[in-house]
Amino acid sequence: MIVYVLGSTGSIQGREASNTSLAVTSAGRTLLIDVSGSPIQALKRSNIDPLSVDVLLLTHAHIDHLYALPSLIHQMWLMGRTADLTIVANKETIEVAQSLCALFSLAEKRGIFAVNWQVAEEGRAAVTVGKMAITLFSVPHGIPTLGCTLEEGDEKVVYLADCKSSGSYPPCAWKADLLIHEAGGVAEEEERLMKSGHSSARQAAEAALLLEAQRLVLVHLPCDEGEQGRLLSEASALFGATELPRLFEPYQR
């Protein structure tokens, strides 16, 4: 299982980084988590074959997490994809994603591959990509939102997508080798962050401590790099093994 960060900012993109999305490969197959920025370009920059994407997980229906979906599907079609693409999301997100695809009449493209829309019922579903098992769970974010645990052998990656700090996590979120957690600001901004369903760097570090993670990578960051440095300092003071993301580079144990 190899994780790649394809984008790392919150709603506003930076000079180098686009909105947060991830790719995770296992046995030559790929899981894409959210679809923003230029997804095909980002996969290529990570040396991942875009046609190896078997499953797209959409965490929630906020614009910064799925606006690039029509372009992803359109480019895969032009690249000659024939295999089905599975898109997993909650019911509310699937409705928005299907409307986006309908806007561009993608289903009417000649010979286009099939999309299997898979509803994550009651916030839980199990999917497999390569040798990797994916478990979904709900996180608090104002609208229905999914987090996920990825497991291959004894290796575990946990992604806490857009979410505010709750102190309450499912059993599968414990003891990750790598915890990827959102952080939209620092502790003094927590009131504002909580209102919009987000976490501070301090709260992300607290989650890493509580969940006994080995390593913490912060994502969904403010676009200003100086501000990102403040977030890193704040989280590192609590949880030493904290990092800012390195885009398009492999994370593996």
Binding site for Zn ion (CB under 5 A): 62, 64, 162
Residue 196 CB: number of other CB atoms within 10 A? 13
Q: 62 vs 156, which CB is nearer to Zn ion?
A: 62
CB of 87 to Zn ion, least distance (A): 18
Q: 146 vs 150, which CB is nearer to Zn ion?
A: 146
CA distance 78 to 63: 24
CA distance 29 to 180: 21
Measuring CA to CA, which residue among 247, 253, 204 is closest to residue 45? 247
CB of 227 to Zn ion, least distance (A): 16
Q: 62 vs 215, which CB is nearer to Zn ion?
A: 62
CB of 139 to Zn ion, least distance (A): 10
Residue 81 C-beta-side C-alpha neighbours within 13 Å? 22
CB of 239 to Zn ion, least distance (A): 22
Judge whether 38 and 16 are in contact, CB under 8 Å: no
Angle, nearest 10°, between helix axes 225-238 and 201-210?
A: 30
CB of 184 to Zn ion, least distance (A): 9
Q: 151 vs 162, which CB is nearer to Zn ion?
A: 162
Instruction: Report the side by side order of strands in the sheet with 126-129.
Output: 126-129, 132-139, 145-152, 155-160, 178-182, 216-219, 242-243
CA distance 183 to 199: 5
Which two three-digit tokens encode residue 166? 């709750």
CB of 109 to Zn ion, least distance (A): 29
Measuring CA to CA, which residue among 92, 90, 58 is closest to residue 73? 58
Q: 156 vs 164, which CB is nearer to Zn ion?
A: 164
Q: 54 vs 64, which CB is nearer to Zn ion?
A: 64
